């Protein structure tokens, strides 16, 4: 479900950019609107219909809508291509402000429902019995994924944003011993990857999104080495 959600939101973001270009709206806002709608639709349809039908309808419908809208927008293909691969050095201050607001919303929501999220992550049936609104939390997480995808499309690009949703968490899971520690290490890994990757991109003339993701994968490898060394030291008499 998580991979399907990311795939659908990425495609919906492309369609949203095309719609925004047609209507003269900020591309980030157009992408945000359609990604949230698509993510919620996937969650609702998956609950009513099993299998891959909801994913197929939204995924291929999003591709078709994105192609039609960007084609109608004339020069929209260039803008969409930039969002597919990321172009953070070309952002306006208005776009930076939108990204900052989206990131702030994600942080605030996670902080507000942190304990409920932990309970649901460890044992969803027990959390439901305890009175935690798991359905509402699942929808909230769905919207959060949409916000992260839209916020990241201008930096690492839509094609690579899923890597930054997975790799930092995977790196943190090798080192952390708790949910809180995993969250903190994953956030730090993502921040360091962005800082180092964008710096390397600027000074070495590299593709920004690719540099950020390669840095994240390098940190994942270092975390694996550190976890291996720690494990060997722990078993020594």
Do 134 and 207 sit in the same domain of this protein?
no
Confidence of residue 49 (pLDDT cuts 50, 70, 90): low
Do 174 and 154 sit in the same domain of this protein?
no
At which residue do the structure tokens 């020594």 appear? 236
Number of domains in the chain: 2
Quick check: is 20 in a domain?
A: yes
Do 74 and 170 sit in the same domain of this protein?
no
Do 112 and 70 sit in the same domain of this protein?
yes
Quick check: is 236 in a domain?
A: no
Which of 158, 185, 201 is the endpoint of a domain?
A: 158
Q: Is it the case that residue 47 has pLDDT exceeding 80?
A: no
Q: What is the CATH number of the domain that holds 96?
A: 1.10.3470.10
Do 164 and 147 sit in the same domain of this protein?
no
Q: Is it the case that residue 121 has pLDDT exceeding 80?
A: no
Residue 2 is predicted with a pLDDT of 57
Do 115 and 7 sit in the same domain of this protein?
yes
- What is d(CA 96, CA 111) in angstroms, rounded to the nearest whole number? 23
* Domain enclosing residue 165, as ranges: 160-230
* Predicted model pTM: 0.77
At which residue do the structure tokens 């992408």 appear? 31
Q: Is it the case that residue 76 has pLDDT exceeding 60?
A: no
Do 73 and 140 sit in the same domain of this protein?
yes
Do 12 and 111 sit in the same domain of this protein?
yes
Q: Are 25 and 132 in contact (CB under 8 A)?
A: no
Residue 222 is predicted with a pLDDT of 94
Confidence of residue 237 (pLDDT cuts 50, 70, 90): low
Contacts of 217 (CB under 8 A, 6+ apart): 163, 167
Do 118 and 134 sit in the same domain of this protein?
yes
- Mean predicted confidence (pLDDT) in 75-84: 62
Q: Is it the case that residue 216 has pLDDT exceeding 80?
A: yes
Does residue 24 come out as left (phi exceeding 0), alpha (psi in the -120 to 50 range) or beta?
left
Do 128 and 215 sit in the same domain of this protein?
no
Quick check: is 96 in a domain?
A: yes
- Mean predicted confidence (pLDDT) in 175-204: 89
- Mean predicted confidence (pLDDT) in 21-45: 77
Do 189 and 112 sit in the same domain of this protein?
no
Which of 158, 173, 200 is the endpoint of a domain?
A: 158
Q: Is it the case that residue 79 has pLDDT exceeding 70?
A: no
């Amino acid at each position: 479900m998580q991979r399907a959600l990311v795939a659908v939101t990425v495609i919906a973001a492309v369609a949203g950019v095309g719609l925004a270009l047609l209507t003269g709206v900020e591309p980030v806002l157009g992408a945000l609107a359609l990604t949230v709608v698509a993510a919620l639709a996937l969650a609702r349809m998956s609950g009513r219909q099993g299998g891959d039908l909801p994913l197929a309808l939204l995924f291929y419908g999003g591709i078709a809508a994105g192609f039609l809208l960007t084609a109608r927008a004339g020069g929209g293909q260039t803008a969409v291509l930039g969002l597919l691969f990321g172009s953070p050095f070309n952002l306006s201050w208005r776009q930076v402000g939108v990204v900052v607001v989206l990131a702030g919303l994600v942080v605030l929501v996670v902080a507000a429902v942190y304990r409920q999220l932990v309970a649901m992550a460890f044992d969803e049936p027990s959390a439901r019995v305890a009175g935690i609104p798991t359905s509402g939390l699942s929808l909230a997480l769905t919207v959060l994924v949409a916000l992260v995808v839209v916020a990241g499309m201008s930096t690492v690009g839509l094609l690579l944003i899923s890597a930054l949703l997975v790799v930092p968490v995977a790196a943190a899971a090798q080192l952390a011993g708790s949910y809180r520690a995993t969250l903190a290490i994953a956030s730090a890994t993502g921040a360091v990857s962005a800082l180092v990757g964008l710096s390397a991109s600027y000074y070495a003339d590299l593709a920004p999104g690719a540099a950020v993701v390669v840095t994240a994968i390098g940190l994942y490898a270092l975390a694996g080495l550190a976890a291996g060394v720690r494990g060997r030291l722990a078993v020594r008499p």
